[in-house]
Amino acid sequence: MLNPQQRTAIEYCDGPLLVLAGAGSGKTRVITEKIAHLVKRKHLSASKIAAITFTNKAAREMRERVGKLLKGADAEGLTVCTFHALGLRFLQTEHTHAGLRRGFSVLDADDSQGLIKDLAPKGIKNDALWALQNLISRAKNDGLTPEQAAERSQGAREAEAAEIYADYQKRLAAFNAVDFDDLIRLPLQLLETNEQLRAVWQERIRYLLLDEYQDTNTAQYRLVRALAGERGMFTAVGDDDQSIYAWRGANPENLAELSRDYPKLKVVKLEQNYRCGRRILRVANTLIANNSHLFEKKLWSESSEGPPIRILECRDDEHESERIAAEILHLAEKHKARWHDFAILYRGNHQSRPLEKALRIARVPYHLTGGTAFLERAEVKDLLAYLRLINNPDDDAAFLRIVNVPRREIGATSLEKLGQSAGARHQSMLRAAQHDTVLASLSARPASALAGFVQLIGELGQHAQRLPAAELVDTLITRIGYADHIAAQVSEAGARARRMENLKELADWFRAMQKEGAAGDLAAQLALLAHNDRDDPGNAVRLMTLHSAKGLEFRFVFIIGVEEGTFPHEASIEEGRLDEERRLMYVGITRAKEQLALSYARRKRRFGEIIANDPSRFLAELPEADLHWSGRDVEQDEAQRKEVASSSLAKLAALFEE
């Protein structure tokens, strides 16, 4: 059943609408029900509606929910996707306007960094390279062309970045490629400068629904404005209290921009929380009240009060981890809870190490979110790029990734010339490299290397016609000498072995798909692999950063490392970014449905030294009456200690009986 505010947000379709949706207030339901309302009550074709969110997972969930509300033809043509997916769809339709050929490539962050490294000063350090890539990305996220970035540059570093940005774009054009940021910047540039094209797309998308609006960057907001036009037929759903991505370009000021650009903007507040106990909400409201707000709101709940928020003082981070492992054992037994009901949240990934050790010793299954996903490992991406190119010789992104893996001394200048020749011939780079006239335009060494690479891919393509994918992987590793390539890159024997083991696992995945009766051809198996969700945590305690926890909820939540310098982070204190750190704490607190504990260590080892810690200033901002500090109520603490200890002892006894 909808509450009055949700119903208002769903039924208001007469102009621009901002829905301030607090944590756990049912925002996804509002968006999906509004889509159904637009189709069923307002008789707007689903093909004229676009719902935009920030992750593929959120888009998939939204699409599934809408599918249950709209049946068959009613949902036909509906767009539910991320900003970048919308941008890709735009460029695939309007590629000629963007100066791209059909079948252009989209480079990932690694491929992009490789191109920038070629253009950067020789011998550039990784930190400086990352900073350079970040400056270029920031310029694109602000919707700036290379020329505009140069005009607005402040200081030598930004001027250098703008210069490399210009060369980088020339190289992307030669390769018929775009990067991830271009998926927003190029559509924006076309819509803002081409009135006819803008009118076409405003007619194509008659109503926009925007999820997580507070996370939009400058270019994304300008894209929304270009698509919505003056009529402003959109619903933006967001929460300024959950804006935690400024470090990657998100601009919570876009909430204020919305008010200025659309004076008739209607604002609806969703303040009823369906997730948390009343005490947890009271603590969250008190904390976030220390931030300034454009729109005031206060969450409330009809749930039970819930137990006090526990503050756990620990000797050091090892003691902190051991204590939390014991607490989880106790709570799981006491409440008959499953492991996936628990989450341990922290400010940085490095804080997971002692937790993993303690949970392994306690035999508590856990899932670590935020490590490098298997399919994102460099060696796995290299082999998959080979398979993609073998399967599709027109895949320029795959070509660019592995044309020099292992190293073949085909330089950036030669690749740029090859890209220009491919563009002139309206062919992919691999197909262009098959022409003697193209190779003749290059220096002898890269021309010879390219000819050898073309021959290699042709031979592997013949193998692919008769070998299952798993055997093709084995053949590929041997044929290109990938083990020697890894040995040349990685000096440590254990790391080399792990990388080769990852490739063995890749082959095993293909074998498993064969056994499961998956389609036998390489293209089908690659597609299945790409869509395979191998990060399913199952029934395990979730370990993750506070940033990763956004959008999730758990019965029991532990937030660790709540110390000055850790949370809030030292850099945020120095740079005056406490508001965002406080919002991050607010997000963490509101992940808890039933019980919440915050812990800190009195001392920690840093750079070989033992240093003393002070509790986080955020703890002092919480309402004292809703907290229970360990160590301050000796009698209650002792009773709790015995209860937890008995659970732990029972668990240990069970282990010895196995």
pLDDT of 644 reads: 59
pLDDT of 533 reads: 40
Answer yes or no: is pLDDT of 608 > 80.
no
Beta strand segments in 423-573, E: 541-545, 554-559
How much is the mean pLDDT over the chain? 87
d(CA 429, CA 329): 57
Buried-state track 412-429, b at ≥16 Cβ within 10 A, e below 16: eebbbbbbbbbbeeebbb
d(CA 254, CA 240): 10
Please answer whether residues 311 and 598 qualify as being in contact, where contact means their C-beta atoms are separated by less than 8 angstroms: yes
Answer yes or no: is pLDDT of 605 > 80.
no
Beta strand segments in 136-265, E: 177-179, 207-210, 234-238
pLDDT band, very low/low/confident/very high, at 436 (cuts 50, 70, 90)? very high
Q: How many CB atoms lie within 10 A of CB 602?
A: 15
Q: What percent of the chain has pLDDT over 90?
A: 54
Q: What percent of the chain has pLDDT over 70?
A: 90
> pLDDT tens, 112-125?
888 898 888 888 88
Helices 218-228 and 83-93: crossing angle in degrees, nearest 10, is: 60
Answer yes or no: is pLDDT of 514 > 70.
no
> pLDDT tens, 623-641?
999 999 987 765 555 656 6
Residue with tokens 């204190």: 573
Output DSSP code: residue 393. T
Phi, psi (deg, nearest 5) at residue 317: -70, -25
State which of 54-68, 229-243, 530-544 shows the largest mean pLDDT.
229-243
Report the pLDDT averaged over residues 597-621: 89
pLDDT band, very low/low/confident/very high, at 516 (cuts 50, 70, 90)? very low
d(CA 556, CA 485): 46
3-state secondary structure of 213: helix
Q: Which residue has the higher pLDDT, 111 or 390?
A: 390
Please answer whether residues 573 and 565 qualify as being in contact, where contact means their C-beta atoms are separated by less than 8 angstroms: yes
Answer yes or no: is pLDDT of 562 > 50.
yes
**What is the CA angle 130-136-139, rounded to 5?**
140
pLDDT of 322 reads: 93
Which amino acids are annotated catalytic? 27-28, 211-212, 242, 591
* Residue 362: half-sphere exposure toward Cβ, Cα within 13 Å: 28
Please answer whether residues 353 and 552 qualify as being in contact, where contact means their C-beta atoms are separated by less than 8 angstroms: no
Residue type at position 593: K
Please answer whether residues 221 and 254 qualify as being in contact, where contact means their C-beta atoms are separated by less than 8 angstroms: yes
> pLDDT tens, 137-166?
999 988 899 999 999 999 889 999 999 999
**What is the CA angle 408-410-414, rounded to 5?**
165
29, two tokens: 């339901």
> pLDDT tens, 22-40?
999 999 999 999 999 999 9
Q: Which of 375, 387, 638 is nearest to 522 (CA)?
A: 387
pLDDT of 492 reads: 83
d(CA 75, CA 63): 10
492, two tokens: 């440590």
Q: How many CB atoms lie within 10 A of CB 448?
A: 15
Strand 105-107 to strand 541-545: parallel, antiparallel, or no bridges (unpaired)? unpaired
Contacts with 360 (C-beta within 8 Å, 6 or more apart), sequence order? none
3-state secondary structure of 466: helix
Output DSSP code: residue 339. G
Whether the predicted model's global pTM rises above the 0.85 cut: no
Residue with tokens 């920030």: 54
> pLDDT tens, 252-273?
788 888 889 999 999 999 999 9
d(CA 619, CA 627): 9
> pLDDT tens, 268-327?
999 999 999 999 999 999 999 999 887 888 899 999 999 999 999 999 989 999 999 999
Residue with tokens 């889509």: 35
